[in-house]
Structure 1
Amino acid sequence: MATSAGRRAERVARETLGLEELRPGQLEAMTALAEGRDTLVVMPTGGGKSAVYQVPALLLDGPTLVVSPLIALQRDQVAGLRRRDERAVRLDAATSKKERDSSFQSLRAGETEFLFCAPEQLTKPDVVRELAAAKPSLLVVDEAHCVSAWGHDFRPDYLRLGAVAEALGRPVVAALTATAAPPVRTEIIERLRMRDPVEIVCGFDRPNIHLRVRRTSGDGEDVVEAVEELAKPGLVYTATRKQTGELAGRLRERGVRAAAYHAGMRRADRDAVQESFMTGELDVVVATNAFGMGIDKPDVRFVVHAQVPGSLDAYYQEIGRAGRDGEPAAAVLFYRPEDLGMRRFFTGGLPDEDALAVIARAIREAGGRTDRKHLRELLGLSVRGVTSLLNLLEKAGAVRLGTRSVSATEDAPPPEEAARAAREVAERHREVERTRLEMTRRYAEIRDCRRVFLLGYFGERLPGPCGACDTCTAGTVSEPEPVSGGPFPVHARVEHVEWGPGEVIRRDEDRLTVLFHENGYRELLLEAVVREGLLREAG
């Protein structure tokens, strides 16, 4: 039965946004936010995440702050709101002082409902003070997976948002993302300091996307030939910047309107490529993972990966850019086992324990509180480098991060002990990353239904083979035996004798896939688990 907040949300959605029928999860999320509940929403791209926060924003007293990592996406959102006669402004590095002062004044006066900014803007004390004076009622964190070191697109500036929420007077927090496996969701909640949040996870399945994996020699010729044959437009993802130019050039030689895109290009050139793709002047963009977040082009007919991605989280986010119009699309992964070696190399680094100890000692010598600038100067590191070390010390329980300040926790261990604990956190994270890479290998090599495996990774279970992947088409998929009975069902909380607590995310006839909180994804033979007593169901 709908609550009064739910009925008001439905009315605003209909009268203001013109939404006669809401999609799965939308009303539940709108209602929770309108009732003042922190809410984490995992909803597929194109599932209506913008409406999820715009409706409660109009129901709650006070302005709404929307944090988004992309200026282009902010620009589109502001333009869309203004077309509906909603007052919305944007704040970035190019905003003049006069525009900034005017925006803050209109927020305080209640004349503007929405302010959009990137997380970098919230590292400035004057910005946070002005926003706090406006008493926002809702803080929206878009692309919330960026807050998680578990995630595939970690952004250090997102780590400060939990402290920002406190500095703003603790408005209701809405965390929105299209892709978040269970450990990412847990870290989003922790990092944003969400209070007893409502979690709404909508179906991950995109049945119109045909999933395929092809073995490759690695010379790129098979990628070029496949892209030639696929319906356009589409995206090709590569592991390196150099490969973007090489593959785009080879495609142009075949008559395909293609261009490269990567973070090392000038902004004007990147913007030109993006605009040409959006308007249909380009058929294919060959890019690193720098391209795609916030790109809302509904008719993308394929996403090709020229190399294996680092995780299924990243893979699912990227293939989700295909077929948003609901029409058939293809996701093709070119797989070479040797490429996994390069990915393992990228997960191999560990932090300098001496640098961690220097930071912990500096905070103690400063009376238990200092600022990030002092620590950067002390170590001669970049903002990202210091932030990464502080992130580990925070996870080890040694420090607490503010918007700019860093303070020791009340029970902070001695500096050397804190450094050891932080390094152990890093070692566990590295092991987790390697298990995620192993799950990517399993996806590429599996002979059973790829979609069943992929959705199982995110904790979602399909009743049977999908019929819309290459293994189903090839007839290599065997109909699974029913596994509804017996121990350790899907979503069961379990405890391993060595790896600690976890959750069963997939259960086959002969094996379990368990996500352990501290040790990542593991596949266990069910017979051995039962025989050796390796797992017990937790309460």
Structure 2
Amino acid sequence: MPKSTRNVVDIATAAKRLLGFKSLRPGQNDAIQSLVEGRDTVLVQPTGSGKSAVYQIAGALIEGSTVIVSPLIALQKDQADSIEASKLEATAVVNSTLSASEQREVLDRIEQGKVEYIFLAPEQLRKPETLDRLRAANVSLIAIDEAHCISHWGHDFRPDYLGLAQVIEALDHPPVLAMTATASREVRAEIIDRLGLENPRILLHGFDRPNISLRVDQFSSKDEKCESLLRRVEFAEKPGIVYVSTHKNAETIAADLQQMGVDALCYHGGLKAKQREEIQNKFMSGEVPVIVATNAFGMGVDKPDIRFVYHADVSDSLDAYYQEVGRAGRDGEPAEAVLFYRPQDISAQQFKTGPTHVDSEGLEAVYNTLVAMKGPMTRDEIVLETGINARKLVGLLHKLEETEAIRHLESCDFEATSAHPLSEIIEAAAENQRLQKQFRKQRLQKMQSYAEWRSCRREFLLRYFGDDYAGPCGNCDRCEQLRIMPKAA
């Protein structure tokens, strides 16, 4: 439902009063105006361009509480601390680091209307108690950070984001702000569909990063590629990031760089959380100039002086690639992005796109449990009944939802809805899995097209994201080659 707002809002004056802004950045005024008018809004802007200020100002201008859904605890804390430092309004963070008593205390404050900005991970919204408290808090704006996490087409897909549409409706669908740094047309369409956004305003800003030099170096052998990468890192201006596709590559390349005298550390999802935090802090503080990482490193990383982002392996999509590239040169100074590429790398990445088959035993266990119950069940109840761990259960429930064999209720419970035989449900789930694998293959084909593109690389990337850009850009390897080639007689 649209929120009650002031009849006339001077957004520039409000931004100065609330946050001390002398002026608004491109896109901020339009997004805030859209929200105070009660419209769902999709905002696609680079990290560091001021997306958080949009929900902060809009939330302050509209009566009621603002819910911010953010996937990382560190991001939640940073954003909440920023608001507290500005003395804007009261904030609250609800996440797994709180004890049960601390969570109850925070939820009491939320229910009593004492909190303007409420930060939650999507997992917290699975809990009926959390949703009940939010219903009582007069939520008048929902901001969803890293909204691309809801898309199969893009990258960083997170099943817990799939329940957000039910949460939005359970809270009477206040205006929704979906935010992400990069999103192609396909990703934007999926965000709108899966969140159930109603006639949203789509705002795209700042895709072009002209200070970043784009380059693809092609190799015929692994050894040649690896040697070139190591030498380039050795002599490159630092700090910088090397992205790889596997834990093993991260460890091997970091060790090779250390042997060459380059102070480098590796970062991947196989490390303990405390180790990852220590490594990230060393890089962010400048203590370590080079980090070799899988895509586990990146979300929430905003270090302005990164001088290079090198990809030792191809990313699984152009969306992921450009978001990783965009971590370079945020201070506006020259930076470079180089993809070290072999055509065989595409085939290697395809092996990681996941199996075509589905977990038929897991689907059968969950579905039969819901049918036998003859009524709604919570996730915790399904876990107890089936013995399937909570993380795996999220994916199984999603697959059953896609076949419409079960439904996700506004209460966040699940119930069986299908009268089809189990064999048909599993067959439908397998077909959906096949289609998703096809999506991943198409994403890789786009990545291959970029790597093997023979004209302006910036034009290729920006047009992919919907920016009507025409090269030459003058700052990519293709434009440089065209500039030095002799004219035909």
Question: Do both proteins adopt the same fold according to a TM-score greater than 0.5, normalized to the shorter chain?
Answer: yes
Secondary structure at the aligned position of 1:430 is classed as helix
Equivalences for 1:78-477 in 2 at 5 Å? 78-86=80-88, 87-216=90-219, 217-219=221-223, 220-350=226-356, 351-353=358-360, 355-356=362-363, 359-367=366-374, 369-376=376-383, 380-402=387-409, 404-409=412-417, 413-475=420-482
Does the 8 Å CA contact 1:412/1:418 hold for their aligned counterparts?
Answer: no
Secondary structure at the aligned position of 1:475 is classed as helix
Bigger shift: residues 413-422 or 266-275: 413-422
Task: Specify the alignment match of 1:499 in structure 2.
Answer: none
Q: CA deviation at 1:183?
A: 1.8
> Structure 1's 97 and 430: CA in aligned 2 closer, same or farther, altered over 3 A?
closer
> Structure 1's 95 and 477: CA in aligned 2 closer, same or farther, altered over 3 A?
farther
> Structure 1's 109 and 374: CA in aligned 2 closer, same or farther, altered over 3 A?
closer
Q: Distance in 2 between matches of 1:206 and 1:43?
A: 12
Does the 8 Å CA contact 2:213/2:337 hold for their aligned counterparts?
Answer: yes
Task: Specify the alignment match of 2:78 in structure 1.
Answer: 76
Does the 8 Å CA contact 1:104/1:134 hold for their aligned counterparts?
Answer: no
Q: Distance in 2 between matches of 1:355 and 1:90?
A: 34
Does the 8 Å CA contact 1:5/1:35 hold for their aligned counterparts?
Answer: no
Q: Distance in 2 between matches of 1:224 and 1:346?
A: 25
> Structure 1's 60 and 477: CA in aligned 2 closer, same or farther, altered over 3 A?
farther
Please tell me the residue identity of whatever aligns with 1:432. F
Does the 8 Å CA contact 1:203/1:460 hold for their aligned counterparts?
Answer: no
Please tell me the residue identity of whatever aligns with 1:407. E
Task: Specify the alignment match of 1:505 in structure 2.
Answer: none
Q: Deviations over 1:180-208 (max 9, x none)?
A: 11221122122222222222122421111
Secondary structure at the aligned position of 2:10 is classed as helix
Secondary structure at the aligned position of 1:110 is classed as coil
Bigger shift: residues 234-243 or 85-94: 85-94
Q: Distance in 1 between matches of 2:484 and 2:103?
A: 59
Q: Distance in 1 between matches of 2:446 and 2:97?
A: 42
Bigger shift: residues 92-101 or 61-70: 92-101
Q: Deviations over 1:210-258 (max 9, x none)?
A: 1111124323222111111211111111111122222112222222221
Bigger shift: residues 87-96 or 149-158: 87-96
Q: CA deviation at 1:59?
A: 1.0
Q: Distance in 1 between matches of 2:425 and 2:93?
A: 40
Does the 8 Å CA contact 1:233/1:301 hold for their aligned counterparts?
Answer: yes
Please tell me the residue identity of whatever aligns with 2:197. M
> Structure 1's 255 and 133: CA in aligned 2 closer, same or farther, altered over 3 A?
same
Q: Distance in 2 between matches of 1:136 and 1:164?
A: 11
Could you tell me the TM-score, scaled by structure 2's length? 0.90
Bigger shift: residues 312-321 or 102-111: 102-111
Q: Deviations over 1:48-81 (max 9, x none)?
A: 1111111110011111111111111112111111
Secondary structure at the aligned position of 2:467 is classed as coil
Does the 8 Å CA contact 1:38/1:173 hold for their aligned counterparts?
Answer: yes
Task: Specify the alignment match of 1:534 in structure 2.
Answer: none
Q: CA deviation at 1:153?
A: 0.1
Task: Specify the alignment match of 1:490 in structure 2.
Answer: none
Does the 8 Å CA contact 1:69/1:118 hold for their aligned counterparts?
Answer: yes
> Structure 1's 335 and 24: CA in aligned 2 closer, same or farther, altered over 3 A?
same
Does the 8 Å CA contact 1:376/1:386 hold for their aligned counterparts?
Answer: yes
Please tell me the residue identity of whatever aligns with 1:339. D
Q: CA deviation at 1:346?
A: 1.7
Higher RCO (CA 8 Å, separation ≥ 6 residues) = 2
Task: Specify the alignment match of 1:485 in structure 2.
Answer: none
Please tell me the residue identity of whatever aligns with 2:222. G
Could you tell me the TM-score, scaled by structure 1's length? 0.82
Does the 8 Å CA contact 1:5/1:31 hold for their aligned counterparts?
Answer: no
Does the 8 Å CA contact 2:110/2:133 hold for their aligned counterparts?
Answer: no
Does the 8 Å CA contact 1:39/1:174 hold for their aligned counterparts?
Answer: yes
Does the 8 Å CA contact 2:154/2:317 hold for their aligned counterparts?
Answer: no
> Structure 1's 33 and 103: CA in aligned 2 closer, same or farther, altered over 3 A?
same
Secondary structure at the aligned position of 1:214 is classed as strand
> Structure 1's 27 and 206: CA in aligned 2 closer, same or farther, altered over 3 A?
same
Q: Distance in 2 between matches of 1:65 and 1:117?
A: 7
Secondary structure at the aligned position of 1:10 is classed as helix
> Structure 1's 389 and 111: CA in aligned 2 closer, same or farther, altered over 3 A?
closer
Q: CA deviation at 1:456?
A: 2.0
> Structure 1's 10 and 382: CA in aligned 2 closer, same or farther, altered over 3 A?
same
> Cα RMSD between the aligned structures?
2.4
Task: Specify the alignment match of 1:52 in structure 2.
Answer: 54
Q: CA deviation at 1:373?
A: 4.1
> Structure 1's 201 and 368: CA in aligned 2 closer, same or farther, altered over 3 A?
farther
Q: Which runs of 5+ in 1 are unaligned?
A: 479-539
Q: Distance in 1 between matches of 2:7 and 2:472?
A: 40
Please tell me the residue identity of whatever aligns with 1:112. V
Does the 8 Å CA contact 2:176/2:197 hold for their aligned counterparts?
Answer: yes
> Structure 1's 359 and 272: CA in aligned 2 closer, same or farther, altered over 3 A?
closer
> Structure 1's 279 and 348: CA in aligned 2 closer, same or farther, altered over 3 A?
closer
Kindly indicate which of the two structures has a greater share of residues assigned to strand: 1
Q: Deviations over 1:8-30 (max 9, x none)?
A: 32221122122222222211111
Secondary structure at the aligned position of 2:474 is classed as coil
Q: Distance in 2 between matches of 1:397 and 1:321?
A: 39
